[in-house]
């Protein structure tokens, strides 16, 4: 499916829908305008099915909207962030088009040296899951179903490392760390191609900062504050920014959506505290996560535990929580949390 957007300056942005994870649809964007060669933003997950949906999208765009467009016209590939559902197809599209690849410097090692980052990530995730109270026999199945493992995708050279405020073609780069260390959004005219920063219906996945620096809820909250400030600043200039996220529909009123995201995130934190208040004994992150999400699906477990751990980390910083078993961590690494009573 193709959606077409046109900026107030006449730049055309086509959103191509594709299957990016077994249960998740997502979008890549193809950008056309005068004075620059077509730009591809994000590349799908790299499975043959995802790649062929994107190629079909290109064919449809050439047939119905941009006559004479050919794959090899694409000279630049931009990545919002280095999560597999956004950059997994980069190696394929780089070779198919001959385009150069650009992403934020903090996410570039995942793209350029995936196996190295995945191996280090796996090691950290194992320690993390023990700390969360995962039984030893469940650690490997949980990590396998999450799938951040060496060999999942082929590494690709990154030609240009981006920083906040850079411009590349018609796009201005805005750095919004939190969901990933090098998460960026591209401002093109009155559109912001926003990756996973804010979604139309669901809350963005948050990771605990102790697994990866520059993630975590504090950083994420700062980033959505920064996003709101950007939108309001553009409003002052007479420009209404429309947010094109990497999943779910376009967000026409992003300031309103940010307020809803903040309220929902706050409610989730309050629910977490309530779970601990009502429980007679301190709970591990795994135990809290099960009560918070009621998830039984193995493939969702890691996402739920990470979101819970990120909130525990935040609430601990805020002084709301204590590690109740701090004097027994030598014999059992699972931290048990309680509210400060």
Residues in contact with Zn ion by CB under 5 A are 83, 85, 196, 246
Minimum CB separation from Zn ion for residue 251, in Å?
15
Nearer to Zn ion, 1 or 317 (CB): 1
Nearer to Zn ion, 121 or 133 (CB): 121
The answer to whether 142 and 129 have CB atoms below 8 angstroms apart is: yes
Tokens 């320690």 correspond to what residue?
A: 127
The closest of 189, 212, 222 to 83, measured between CA atoms, is 212
The answer to whether 263 and 256 have CB atoms below 8 angstroms apart is: no
Minimum CB separation from Zn ion for residue 185, in Å?
12
The closest of 223, 165, 219, 171 to 197, measured between CA atoms, is 223
Q: What is the DSSP string of 229-241?
A: HHHHHHHHTT---
Nearer to Zn ion, 170 or 194 (CB): 194
Minimum CB separation from Zn ion for residue 9, in Å?
28
CA distance 8 to 331: 62
Nearer to Zn ion, 246 or 254 (CB): 246
Q: Which residue is nearest to Zn ion (CB)?
A: 83
Nearer to Zn ion, 45 or 335 (CB): 45
Minimum CB separation from Zn ion for residue 238, in Å?
31
CA distance 19 to 132: 31
Q: What is the DSSP string of 12-47?
A: EEEEEEEEEETTEEEEEEEEEETTEEEEEE------
Nearer to Zn ion, 192 or 283 (CB): 192
Minimum CB separation from Zn ion for residue 45, in Å?
9
Nearer to Zn ion, 53 or 196 (CB): 196
Minimum CB separation from Zn ion for residue 196, in Å?
4
Q: Which residues, in sequence order, are bridge partners of residue 245?
A: 195
Minimum CB separation from Zn ion for residue 73, in Å?
26
Q: Classify strands 36-41 and 12-21 as parallel, antiparallel or unpaired.
A: unpaired
The answer to whether 252 and 194 have CB atoms below 8 angstroms apart is: no
| Three-state secondary-structure class, residue 175 | strand
Give the number of other Cβ atoms within 10 Å of residue 274's Cβ. Answer: 13
């Amino acid at each position: 499916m193709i959606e077409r957007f046109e900026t107030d300056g006449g730049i055309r942005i086509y959103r191509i829908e594709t299957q990016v994870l077994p249960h998740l649809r997502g979008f890549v964007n193809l950008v056309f305008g005068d004075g620059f060669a077509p730009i591809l933003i994000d590349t799908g997950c790299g499975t043959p099915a995802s790649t062929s949906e994107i190629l079909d999208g290109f064919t449809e765009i050439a047939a119905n909207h941009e006559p004479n467009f050919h794959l090899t016209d694409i000279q630049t590939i931009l990545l919002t962030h280095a999560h597999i559902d956004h950059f997994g197809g980069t190696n394929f599209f780089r070779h198919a088009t001959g385009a150069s690849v650009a992403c934020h410097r903090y996410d570039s090692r995942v793209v350029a040296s995936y196996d190295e980052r995945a191996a280090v990530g796996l090691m950290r995730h194992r320690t993390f899951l023990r700390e969360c109270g995962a039984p030893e026999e469940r650690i490997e199945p949980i990590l396998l179903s999450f799938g951040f493992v060496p060999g999942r995708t082929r590494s690709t050279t990154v030609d240009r490392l981006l920083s906040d405020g850079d411009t590349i073609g018609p796009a201005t780069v805005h750095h919004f760390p939190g969901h990933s260390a090098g998460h960026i959004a591209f401002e093109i005219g009155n559109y912001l191609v926003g990756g996973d920063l804010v979604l139309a219906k669901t809350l963005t996945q948050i990771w605990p900062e102790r697994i990866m620096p520059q993630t975590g809820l504090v950083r994420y909250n700062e980033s959505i504050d920064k996003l709101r400030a950007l939108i309001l600043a553009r409003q002052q200039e007479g420009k209404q920014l429309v947010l094109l996220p990497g999943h779910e529909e376009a967000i026409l009123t992003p300031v309103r959506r940010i307020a809803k995201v903040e309220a929902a995130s706050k409610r989730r934190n309050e629910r977490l505290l309530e779970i601990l208040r009502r429980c007679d004994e301190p709970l591990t992150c795994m135990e809290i996560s099960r009560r918070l999400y009621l998830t039984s699906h193995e493939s969702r477990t890691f996402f739920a535990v990470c979101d819970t751990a990120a909130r525990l980390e935040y609430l601990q910083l805020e002084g709301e929580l204590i590690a109740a078993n701090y004097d027994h961590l030598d014999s059992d690494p699972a931290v048990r949390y309680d509210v400060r009573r």
